[in-house]
Amino acid sequence: MRTFIALDINNDVKQTANDTISKLMRMGFKASWVKPENMHLTLFFLGDVRESLIDNMAEHLNKRLAGFPSFSIEISGFGYFRFRNRPRVVFLKVVPSKALQTLYLEMRSELKKLKIPFDDQGNFVPHITLGRVKESPEKWENLLKGITVPKILVAVDSFTIYSSTLTPRGPIYNWIYRSKFEGGLMKNER
């Protein structure tokens, strides 16, 4: 099962993301745009994982993070990753914080202990992907400099483990587990 671990975002962020995508489209950017219901902050992309391992991983992560203090993440700004002098991925910036970094490192340590492989690029850059760019207009850098995003706070008191099913119309995400820091692990019994 194609799996990832993420933090959910609120409707304010989804609305801002949609507004930003609309601006980018009007500017002439063509991309695989992320649907609002699929937006999240990815902590770990795990790839294909056996279902029995997911159950074990969820229980271990839930136990390790029980009592982790709730915190807020701040969405502020717009950014992109470039590839060969073109924008590759456009996103909303998440301001790095000590709490977010600590959460990431705690989870990373537990995944390594459980020997669950994950996409580990060594440098965690928190962001909310808006789209994967296929075509960009001339003078794209100047256009992107003009994009502003208001500051939005998102409360974080849990994490979610998702499955991702690829389809011709885009990925379909379904939550498998939700873990609250104050305790409590919910499994989606679909």
The Cα–Cα gap between 27 and 48 comes to: 36
pLDDT score for 14: 96
Q: Can you read off the two tokens belonging to residue 182? A: 């104050």
Closest by CA to 73, choosing from 108, 43, 99, is 99
**Domain tally, the chain:** 1
Query: Considering 78, 100, 127, 154, which one is annotated as catalytic?
Result: 127
Q: Which domain holds residue 165?
A: 2-187
Query: Considering 13, 31, 40, 58, which one is annotated as catalytic?
Result: 40
pLDDT score for 190: 67
Question: Going by DSSP bridges, is the β-strand pair 2-7/185-187 parallel, antiparallel, or unpaired?
Answer: unpaired
Residue 60 known to be catalytic: no
| 26: CATH | 3.90.1140.10
Predicted structure pTM score = 0.92
* 100-157 pLDDT tens trace: 999 999 999 999 999 998 887 668 899 999 999 999 999 999 999 999 999 999 999 9
pLDDT at 184 over 90: no
